[in-house]
Amino acid sequence: MLCKKCGAKLKDGHVYCEKCGEPVQIVPDFNPLDEAVLENVAGMMNPEEKSTSDRRTVQAPPVHTHTKPQAEKLTLRRKLWILGIAAVLLIAGGGVGFLTYRSNSYIYQIQKAQEYRDKQNTDRAVVYLEKAVELKPEDPAAYETLVEIYTEQHKDEEAVAVLEHMIDQELATVEEYEELIGFYKKAERMSDIPDLILNCTDQNIRKALSDYTVPAPDADLAPGIYYKNVEIELLADIGEIYYTFDGSQPTHKSHLYVRPIMLREGKNIIRAVAVNGDGYYSQDITLEYEIKLDQ
């Protein structure tokens, strides 16, 4: 390194030129940004000095006799600062990851639902179960627990809705079918049971539900057009027959069939259903007759 004034070679470690006595300007090896930060801090601590410094037009460069230790100190400070930020980001990232896991974990939702159920807080349990259903709609476990909770709370409509959904998605077992049949019977929806069983595609389930099925009734006269007064007889293998004349769906509150039915002139629409001793319905049948006496 050469002296900027006289050009003489400077010796390492000397802060003045041995030939002309000119101070040696040593360039610090730390980041100027660190220097700016330190100056700002110093200015806040001593505003008068900062103001004086701002008014200077020319300022001689300072002589640093311990530049390297100071730079090492600032470098260490920067490293600690960076490590601190990294640690904060790591913790924040871990927190976000954990929250994401909780929001998207089916098992977590089931566990939390059971936890709140054990605490008798069924409303919160339902919230977690509904989230579990969204995450894994093909798993019947959450549905089954929802049905249990709604049944305990006497919320029959909600329980029925869940059971019907399970059946639509082909997730129901014989037990779920029987539960739904029980709700239908309680709500006097017996006429919905035959279609429920008929629409089941699992033959094993249909066989297991045979006790809830009733053979449909029949008539001794085929539907059609007749040119004379006729009467029809309704037949059933099991139970009693109920029928309507206006085409509406028959129930156990409709006309009880006890004798042959005399058809009147014009169009006749008879719908009939068989009901067994346990109150279960068959599928209903529709019979249409037209009597024309003037022909």
Ordered mean pLDDT values, 10 residues apiece, the chain (295 residues): 70 67 56 46 47 46 53 72 77 59 84 95 96 95 96 96 97 97 95 95 95 96 95 96 94 95 95 95 96 83
Whether 278 and 265 have beta carbons less than 8 Å apart is answered as no
Are 229 and 262 part of one and the same domain? yes
Q: What are phi and psi of 225, to 5 degrees?
A: -105, 135
CB neighbours of 224 closer than 8 A, spacing ≥ 6?
289, 290
- pLDDT recorded at residue 262: 95
Whether 180 and 268 have beta carbons less than 8 Å apart is answered as no
**pLDDT by residue (tens digit) across 175-207?**
999 999 999 999 999 999 999 999 999 999 999
Please check whether residue 145 lies inside any domain of the structure.
yes
Are 228 and 204 part of one and the same domain? no
- Residue after which a domain boundary falls, among 195, 212, 229: 212
- Three-state DSSP state, 247: coil
Are 199 and 252 part of one and the same domain? no
Please check whether residue 257 lies inside any domain of the structure.
yes
Please check whether residue 206 lies inside any domain of the structure.
yes
Q: Sign of dihedral through CA atoms 274, 176, 117, 127?
A: negative
Question: Which neighbouring-strand residues pair with 261?
Answer: 232
Alpha-carbon gap, residue 165 to 154, rounded angstroms: 19
Number of C-beta neighbours around residue 181 at 10 A: 21
- Give the Å distances, CA to CA, from 49 to 27, 33, 35: 24, 20, 16
As separate numbers, helices (DSSP H) first and strands (DSSP E) second, the chain gives 10, 9
Please check whether residue 6 lies inside any domain of the structure.
yes
- Three-state DSSP state, 231: strand
Which residue range(s) make up the domain with 190?
137-212
Whether 132 and 113 have beta carbons less than 8 Å apart is answered as yes
Please check whether residue 75 lies inside any domain of the structure.
no
Please check whether residue 26 lies inside any domain of the structure.
yes
- pLDDT recorded at residue 218: 97
- Give the Å distances, CA to CA, from 148 to 1, 131, 156, 164: 88, 17, 11, 14
- pLDDT recorded at residue 2: 72
**pLDDT by residue (tens digit) across 267-281?**
999 999 999 999 999
Please check whether residue 103 lies inside any domain of the structure.
no
Are 201 and 147 part of one and the same domain? yes
Length of the chain: 295
Q: What are phi and psi of 273, to 5 degrees?
A: -145, 145
Are 172 and 202 part of one and the same domain? yes
- pLDDT recorded at residue 82: 82
Alpha-carbon gap, residue 141 to 28, rounded angstroms: 69
- Residue after which a domain boundary falls, among 212, 231, 263: 212
CB neighbours of 130 closer than 8 A, spacing ≥ 6?
146
Say which CATH number the domain at 171 has. 1.25.40
Which residue in this structure is represented by tokens 């029980």? 182
- pLDDT recorded at residue 89: 73
Please check whether residue 122 lies inside any domain of the structure.
no
**pLDDT by residue (tens digit) across 10-22?**
666 666 677 776 6
- Residue after which a domain boundary falls, among 168, 190, 212: 212
Are 225 and 205 part of one and the same domain? no
- Give the Å distances, CA to CA, from 249 to 218, 229, 290: 16, 26, 20
Number of C-beta neighbours around residue 112 at 10 A: 19
The total of structural domains in the chain comes to 3
Are 171 and 205 part of one and the same domain? yes
Are 231 and 283 part of one and the same domain? yes
Q: What is the pTM of this model?
A: 0.62
